[in-house]
């Protein structure tokens, strides 16, 4: 039951983008096309789950053991940066089209605060390893849900006659605000 609560809470109620406002840069920057958004969501999911596992183990068995938990942020950033490089190398070999589509946003996963935020929040919430992995996967799924939904809406906006002054980023922020309000409708389901 705890895992179900973690999943529902992370995906809908406390969506990392819509309620905690982490990861806004890739949310706005990569959401022009659904295909690109799906690739970014997959890359973020992979990096977030692996990073949360590795950082949890580092926190529990190295940083705590050495008495230096204050080094958490620096160590976590280094781990995330290394994992992003790994994903970049894999994507370049396996899917060059996806690698090209993600462009500059793939290296930006390194500075995507959702990944660092989830790794730190998993430690702060005192989850065990399995709960941390479920939490990371659920947050990545919530990030992907918000990103892909937003990308779909933005693709549809290209077919609509919008005033010139509202095209691009202005209408994107308005839609993002409306989408965030829609996610607020899930508040109260889970604490």
pTM: 0.87
Percent of the chain with pLDDT strictly greater than 90: 42
What pLDDT, in 10s, does the model give residues 58-75?
Answer: 999 999 999 999 999 999
Mean pLDDT of 50-63: 94
Model confidence at 19, pLDDT cuts 50, 70, 90, reads confident
pLDDT at 120 (0 to 100) = 95
How would you class 145 by CB atoms within 10 Å of its CB: exposed for 0-12, middle for 13-18, buried for 19 or more?
Answer: middle
Model confidence at 1, pLDDT cuts 50, 70, 90, reads low
pLDDT at 113 (0 to 100) = 86
Say if CB 9 and CB 118 are below 8 A apart. no
Average of per-residue pLDDT values in the chain: 88
- CA–CA gap between residue 124 and residue 103 (Å, rounded): 33
Residue 118 burial (CB count, 10 A): 29
């Amino acid at each position: 039951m705890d895992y179900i609560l973690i999943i529902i809470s992370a995906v809908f109620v406390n969506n990392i983008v819509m309620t905690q406002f982490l990861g806004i840069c890739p949310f706005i920057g990569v959401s022009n096309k659904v295909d690109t958004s799906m690739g970014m969501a997959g890359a973020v999911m992979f990096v977030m789950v692996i990073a949360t596992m590795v950082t949890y183990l580092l926190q529990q068995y190295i940083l705590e053991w050495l008495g230096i938990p204050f080094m958490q942020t620096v160590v976590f950033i280094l781990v995330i940066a290394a994992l992003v490089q790994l994903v970049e190398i894999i994507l370049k070999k396996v899917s060059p089209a996806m690698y090209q589509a993600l462009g500059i946003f793939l290296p930006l996963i390194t500075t995507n605060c959702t990944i660092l935020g989830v790794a730190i929040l998993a430690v702060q919430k005192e989850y065990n390893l399995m709960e941390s992995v479920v939490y990371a996967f659920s947050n990545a799924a919530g990030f992907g849900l918000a990103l892909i939904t937003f990308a779909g809406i933005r693709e549809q906006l290209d077919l609509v006659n919008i005033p010139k002054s509202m095209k691009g980023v202005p209408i994107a922020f308005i839609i993002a605000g409306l989408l965030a309000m829609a996610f607020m409708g899930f508040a109260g389901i889970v604490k």
